[in-house]
Amino acid sequence: MTTKTATFAVTGSNTLAFAFTLIVGLGLLTVSGMAQATVLHDAAHDQRHAMAFPCH
Amino acid sequence: MTKNLLSSAVFAGLIAGLIAALLQFVFVIPLLLEGELYESGSRLHFHADGTPQSDRGAPGLGGEWGRHLVTIGFNLVTYTGYGLLMVAAMGLARDHRGTAITAQNGIIWGLAGFIAVQLAPAVGLPPELPGTPAAELAPRQVWWIGTILATMVGLALIAFGRGMVMHLLGLIVILAPQLIGAPHLDTFWGVAPPELSAEFVTQSLGFAAVGWVTLGYFCAFFMAQGEDS
């Protein structure tokens, strides 16, 4: 019983770590690829074209 | 665990982003700058009278170092962002399917990422040379994200699903957004030579593939390193 609880706890904390990592990654990609604020769009413009984000 | 995931993605993202940016400046950015000459009208390919013809030749990178530096910077951000998604997926596969995470396996992860994030959406929405008019942005972004997600799910079903039914289902999920079709204009408006657009598409895809394989290799390499220590 104790072992089972411990295993569950480890898996649970990994799931949180994966979720956190995913959210940070999506945040970075929103800034570099999707956000349409003019300053951001102009700065990221060449990179967005080169990486084929749908741009303007 | 979180620390290993974050540091692996950041190191891999920096390495892959730098290599990708270097390749972009040699191969892709010159074509992009050449396309801008047609976008601005300083070069014309389709004359009102006469046959379409224009000189080949990129204008050179010029002295806009600020512009080029932010391009490098955003490449690092983008590749780190994709790296974070990749290490999370690697960790999930290891925890739930017992997949070994090694640098060699990382190459396959990188190729799968390239297929999902670059190749599949490019089938419907080819990478655009500047000055290529296209349909409204929002529907294109929706189709682009939807296609990436569907392709990721489909590839995961093929890689981790048990039995051929799951693998076939994966294929159907991958093809679905292509059958729905990407948003397009009813008319062609491009002002640049078709050859230039074609070269831009093949070169940007080809060198994105190099970036993605590098990303997969180093994400897995650093993840495995972090677990050992």
For residues B97, B98, B103, B108, the Cα torsion angle rounded to the nearest 10 degrees is -30
> What is the 8-class DSSP label of residue B163?
S
Contact B197, B190 (CB under 8 A): yes
Task: Name the token pair of B103.
Answer: 């640098």
Structural domain boundaries, residue B18: 1-44+63-132+194-229
pLDDT the model gives residue A11: 56
Does B115 lie in the same domain as B87? yes
Read off the pLDDT of residues A11-52 as tens digits, 9 standing for 90 and up: 567 999 999 999 999 999 999 998 888 889 999 999 999 999
Does B221 lie in the same domain as B202? yes
Name which of A10, A13, A24 to mutate to probe chain B: the one with the most chain B Cβ atoms within 10 A of its Cβ. A24
Contact B130, B190 (CB under 8 A): no
Read off the pLDDT of residues B40-60 as tens digits, 9 standing for 90 and up: 999 999 888 888 889 999 998
Measure B75 CA to nearest chain A CA, in Å: 6
pLDDT the model gives residue A36: 85
Rg (CA), chain A: 19
Mean pLDDT of chain B: 95
Q: Report helix angle B103-114 to B194-228, nearest 10.
A: 150
Whether residue B226 lies inside any domain: the answer is yes
Least confident of B12-16, B98-102, B128-132, B194-198: B128-132
CB-based contacts of B53: which residues, under 8 Å, 6+ apart? B45
Q: Read off φ and ψ for residue B128, nearest 5 degrees.
A: -100, 130
Q: CB atoms < 10 A from the CB of B204, how many?
A: 27
CB contact under 8 A, A51 and B81: no
Residues of A in contact with B118 (CB under 8 A): 51-52
Whether residue B56 lies inside any domain: the answer is no
Whether residue B34 lies inside any domain: the answer is yes
Which ipTM score applies to this complex? 0.91
CB contact under 8 A, A52 and B91: no
Task: Let me know the angle formed at the C-alpha of B9 by B8 and B14, rounded to the nearest 5 degrees.
Answer: 105
Whether residue B57 lies inside any domain: the answer is no
Does B139 lie in the same domain as B119? no
Q: Rounded to an integer, what distance in angstroms lies between the CA atom of residue B205 and that of residue B127? A: 8
A4 pLDDT above the threshold of 70: no
A1 pLDDT above the threshold of 60: no
Q: How would residue B27 be classed by pLDDT, with cut points 50, 70 and 90?
A: very high
CB contact under 8 A, B78 and A18: no
Q: Is B55 helix (H, G, I), strand (E, B) or coil?
A: coil
Least confident of A21-25, B108-112, B224-228: B224-228
Q: What is the total count of domains within chain B?
A: 2
